[in-house]
Homo-oligomer: A and B are copies of this chain.
Amino acid sequence: MDESLLPFFRPAGIVVVGASTSASKLGYGIARNLTTSGYAGAIHFVSQGAGELFGRTIHTRLARVPDPVDLAVLVIPAHSMPAGIRDCAARGIRAAIIISAGFREAGTEGAALEETCRELARATGLRLLGPNCIGIIDTHLPLDTSFLQPPMPPRGGIAFISHSGAFCAAIVDWSRRQGFGFSQIVSLGNQVDVSEVEVLSAVAEDRHTRVIVLYMEGVSDGVRFVRAAREVSRAKPIVAIKVGRSESGQRAASSHTAAMAGSDLAFDAAFARCGIMRAATTEQLFDWARALEDSPLPAGPRVAVLTNAGGPGVIAADALETQGMRLAALDDSTRRLLTARLPAAASVDNPVDMLASASPEDYASCLDALLKDTGVDAALVILPPPPMHSAESVAAAIIPIIRVSSKPAVVALLGSDLTEAAFEAFCAAHVPTYPFPERAATALAALFRRATYLGALSQETAGRPFDVVAPASDSTAELMAAYGIHVIGLRLATSPQEAATISRELGFPLVMKIASPAILHKSDVGGILLDVKDAESAASGYTHLLEAALAARPDAHLDGVHLQRQITGGQEVILGALRDPQFGALVMFGSGGVEAEALKDVAFALAPIDAAEADDLMRRTWAGRRLDGFRGIAPVDKSAARDALMRLSWLAFEHPEIDQVEINPLRVLPAGAFALDVRRSP
């Protein structure tokens, strides 16, 4: 992490400025938490009135605080903050957490105050976290600069970074009975200085952190964020909820925080690029995180479901399929093992239903057989309170099997009173455990997506996979040519002779169209000739088109005739690129025309993309899947479409001055793909 952030995460001494002896004040809560957290460094208090607090002297001036002190927690009124920052800098403090509210979120006056604080931070080199935040909790160090009700959240491997302090507080309280714990919690507040980008990288370095959870309301610098997150997510999974998804959500986000909500599509594309797994709900956020924290990753999507009851087994099968997973086909040897073990009425098909009589030993031996089956990538164990046994005896029997397996196994533990002891045993053993089969299935799917991302990462090609010849000019045609995108150009002829000459250069058959800005609907005036097969026809066609146009529109100015190589057959798709203000160039693939708009058959990715990402965009759209052929629709040259898409993404990436560029249509033939029309702005 950046050296300047070290005092936030490894402070040698901390001073609470605005500490209070009044139990109803935040400055009291912070002093209390810091003292009781077990923090091993120096702790100092500063307040207007002298005295003692938690066995320590209260200093009335920051200048009097003795060494060591490198981190300040500021909980003084907003209007005193500039002075407070100056005092910190004067005392040689390197970092400060501003807990106090009353800044940008409170209106224009607060915003001005916040700007003053930012300038002071720049001028003094003091790093600032907040304002309007609840600080930092590190359960392992330990350290707690928050005012939240003790005790600290349980220790664990999940780091939580949040733009919302209230959400932090709620999650900390909610998490107490959930069976997972936190490594670090960082509340970002208004991000006057330190933003989610720097904190993400810093938190990732913590050796206790195994997965990172983000609550995001926006992004401070999209490009830096993607770079940092991409680096982090190679080593540690990141799960995020990005709010402001909906129109009204975006309105709400912009009214309550100054963070830009940004385009949701761009966030999807950015998250996909850097391997951030975007959760749809808060519950999913932590369902995924706890699986990612503890489980090995599956090599594939084939899941074995083990149950003692049919109903929940079917629920699991449904949910797995909805999530893109598959029920594994069990090997004959596995089925023989299961058959030998289980009563005749049991089902040794997947889901394996051992029946209600299943003993802990049945659970263990069947799970062992399933996890050893080479056709099984993961297991989902369903455990309703067994009628004849205790759930915790089943937990005790299967935990060792799960711990030694290199394949992930998650548990759907259905119940409450009867399953409480089992729940605790599973949590203690770091077995991801969920109250319903659906949530367990979602967690397995998250593990599989993580595995897929890491697999794709290893295949990734670095840099632009093709050469670009410097274009002779900035014209769209030159630029497309430089990036190797085949555009079927329009050439203007101004005489029959020139039409003949150009026609020979272009090759046949040709389309010829009257060229006149005044004539929009060319076919209405007989202004289009198809299937022009030789130079003679081109010359006579020129004359014919001009005569027809003159007859229909005697007043129109005619530039001449456009010639274009005629390309028929194949399929049409649309390729595009546009610039997102936060994340830069996005590339788009989909169906052209009205259908694209109405059916939203388009997919986006952050540019540039490689072949695998281009394939993914095509897989996600009907326009792309159709290229492989479908019923009466013949297959076409998908690799040519992939190539054009990849090249366009590099063009957009390397030309930030272009705001939008669209190839509509790209005609994909049995061999080759050709841009028939290219528009760009500016």
Contact = CB atoms under 8 A, between A and B. Distances in A.
Contacts of A28: none
Contact of A384 (B169, B256, B321, B417): B169
B416 A176 contact: yes
Contact of A252 (B217, B317, B439, B599): B317
A581 to B, nearest CB: 20
Given A167-B384, A169-B385, A215-B311, 5 more contacts: A166-B308, A166-B356, A255-B349, A256-B347, A598-B622
Contact of A321 (B177, B247, B315, B594): B247
Interface string A578-613: 000000000000000010011101000000000000
A244 B351 CA distance: 12
15 contacts: A24-B388, A105-B345, A149-B417, A164-B309, A167-B309, A243-B314, A243-B318, A248-B321, A252-B349, A255-B349, A255-B353, A281-B439, A282-B315, A594-B630, A594-B633
Contacts of A576: none
Copies of this chain, complex-wide, total: 2
A85 interface: no
B174 A414 contact: yes
Contact of A313 (B256, B281, B313): B256
A508 interface: no
Contacts of A24: 388
Interface residues of A, number: 97
B385 A170 contact: yes
A249 B320 CA distance: 9
Contacts of A385: 149, 169-170, 173
Contacts of A312: 164, 166-167, 170
Those 5 A-B pairs whose CB atoms lie nearest each other, nearest first: A164-B311, A166-B309, A246-B321, A256-B310, A170-B414
Given A166-B356, A169-B384, A384-B166, A217 B311 contact: yes
Contact of A418 (B149, B245, B418): B149
A326 interface: yes
Given A243-B314, A314-B243, A417 B598 contact: no
Contacts of A601: 599
A175 interface: yes
A351 B280 CA distance: 20
A630 B600 CA distance: 14
B436 A283 contact: yes
Given A170-B385, A247-B321, A282-B438, A345 B313 contact: no
